[in-house]
A and B are shown apart, each in its own frame.
Chain A
C-alpha cells in the first residue's frame, strides 16, 4: 500500500540550476509533510516540513510546496550544489497519530558540476 509515492527514482541537475523533487500521497488524513536527505551509510537528515494549513514553506535554498487538492508536494532546491547529491525522501504524518512517518521510496538527486 503505497500511501506516499515518489515516482522518479533519479534526477540529474546542473550545478546552479533548480532541482524539483516531487511526491504524491493518497491518504487524505495526512496533515504534515517532511523532506529528508540521506547519504549512504547515514541516517535521514531532516530538511524542511510543511503543515497542511500552508501551501508553501521556505528555508534558505529549500522551498516545499503543498497542493492539497492534488495531494502533491514538491521540494525545490535553488541553486543546486554538488553537495546536494543524495537520496531525498518525502514523508507524511497522519493527524491524530503519534507522529509516525510514512516514507516515500526516495529520489536520487545528482547535481553535476
Chain B
C-alpha cells in the first residue's frame, strides 16, 4: 500500500508570506503527527491529531503555526508571516490507533529567504 505522502517536496518563499504544507497519511491511520527538523538537528514535535479528538498543539512554536485535519485523512500545516528561522524540513507521520510505530513521509523542505 501507499506510504505517507507530503507536498510540496520543496518550497521556497519570501519572508512574510504564508505557506501551506500538505500531508496524506496511510489509509486507516487515525493518528497523525507533524515534526520539524532544523538543519543538523533531531526532529521536534509540533502537533498531533487522533481521530476526532482535540489535537495536541503543545509543540507549536508560535501562533503563526496552525494545522488542520479533515476527519482521518489529509492534514495541512500552515505557517503565517514566515520568518527565516522557519526554514527547516517539515515531516509528517501517521500510525494506527493502537500501533507502536510511526511511519514517516519524505518531508517538505521549506526555505524562507
Q: Do A and B come from one complex?
A: no
Query: B-side interface residues toward A, CB under 8 Å?
Result: none
